[in-house]
């Protein structure tokens, strides 16, 4: 467990340095052009509803789909937050929906609502952002196995995903502070 913590801390320091460099070296107009923000009302509304940082939600959406509501992955994940239909069906049932169909995930409002609910539930379950993001990306079963073995994130692509979301959270906070009502 100690080794995993050291890896996380070293990664966090590298991430902070990388994000600080990007924010200092790139003008706001460039960050806004490179990292667009779409569906602001939906992002802000669901961030508020689920007590999430709107910049975090924007960073997850950008990382998952680059704000393409029709995005579909080879694994079958759909929409802005790249939810699997099985996961979304479970969310629908837990949140009072009874008529979920997979095509609902192409609706930005539904997709972000379900993705926000899921991210909040992962944050409650794991208690920290990095682990919740790892579970969002690699699945709860994988994260639970790693934790039971006293290991950190085992998939390099998941480590990269977590780092990217955390870095982009800072970018969205900086470039879109007014739009995301950040203070």
Residue-wise pLDDT for 89-99, tens only, equals 999 999 988 88
Q: How would DSSP label each residue in the chain? A: -HHHHHHHHHHHHHHHHHHHHHHHHS-HHHHHHHS----HHHHHHHHHHTT--HHHHHHHHHHHHTT-TT-B-TTS-BTTTTB-HHHHHHHHHHTT-----GGGGGSHHHHHHHHHHHHHHHHHHHSSHHHHHHHHHH-HHHHHHHHHTT-----HHHHHHHHHHHHHHHHHHHHTTTTTT--
> Is the pLDDT assigned to residue 1 strictly greater than 50?
no
Using alpha carbons, select from 161, 168, 107 the residue that is nearest to residue 130.
161
| CATH number of the domain located at residue range(s) 2-175 in this protein | 1.10.530.10
Active site includes 64? yes
Side-chain half-sphere exposure of 181, counting CA atoms within 13 A: 10
What predicted TM-score, i.e. pTM, was given to this entire model? 0.87
Q: Residue 148 pLDDT more than 80?
A: yes
Q: Which residues of 134-157 are buried (b: 16+ CB within 10 A; e: fewer)?
A: bbbbbebebbeebbeeeebbeeee
For residue 52, pLDDT beyond 60: yes
Q: What is the mean pLDDT of residues 110-124?
A: 98
pLDDT at position 25 is: 74
Among candidate residues 64, 109, 130, 157, the one labeled active-site is 64
- The mean per-residue pLDDT over the stretch 90-110 comes to 94
In whole angstroms, what is the distance from residue 99 CA to residue 182 CA? 36
Is residue 10 scored above 90 in pLDDT? Answer: no
Length of the chain: 183
Percent of the chain with pLDDT over 90: 82
User: What's the pLDDT at 5?
Assistant: 42
For the chain, domain boundaries:
2-175
pLDDT bucket at 123, cuts 50 / 70 / 90 = very high
CB 102, CB 93: distance < 8 Å? no
Checking if the pLDDT of 80 tops 80, the result is: yes
Mean pLDDT (whole number) for 17-45: 84
In this predicted structure, what is the pLDDT of residue 15? 55
């Amino acid at each position: 467990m100690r080794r995993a913590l050291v890896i996380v801390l070293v990664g966090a320091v590298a991430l902070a340095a990388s994000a600080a460099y990007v924010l200092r070296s790139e003008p706001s107009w460039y960050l806004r052009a490179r990292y667009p923000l779409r569906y602001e009302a939906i992002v802000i509304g669901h961030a508020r509803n689920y007590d999430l940082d709107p910049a975090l939600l924007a960073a997850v959406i950008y990382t998952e789909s680059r704000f393409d509501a029709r995005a579909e992955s080879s694994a079958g994940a759909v929409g802005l937050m790249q939810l699997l239909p099985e996961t979304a069906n479970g969310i629908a049932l837990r949140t009072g929906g009874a008529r979920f169909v997979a095509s609902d995930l192409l609706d930005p409002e539904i997709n972000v609502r379900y993705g926000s609910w899921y991210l909040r539930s992962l944050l409650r379950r794991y208690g920290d952002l990095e682990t919740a993001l790892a579970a969002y990306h690699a699945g709860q079963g994988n994260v639970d196995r790693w934790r039971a073995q006293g290991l950190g994130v085992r998939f390099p692509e998941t480590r990269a995903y977590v780092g990217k979301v955390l870095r982009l959270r800072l970018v969205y906070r900086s470039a879109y502070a007014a739009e995301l009502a950040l203070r």
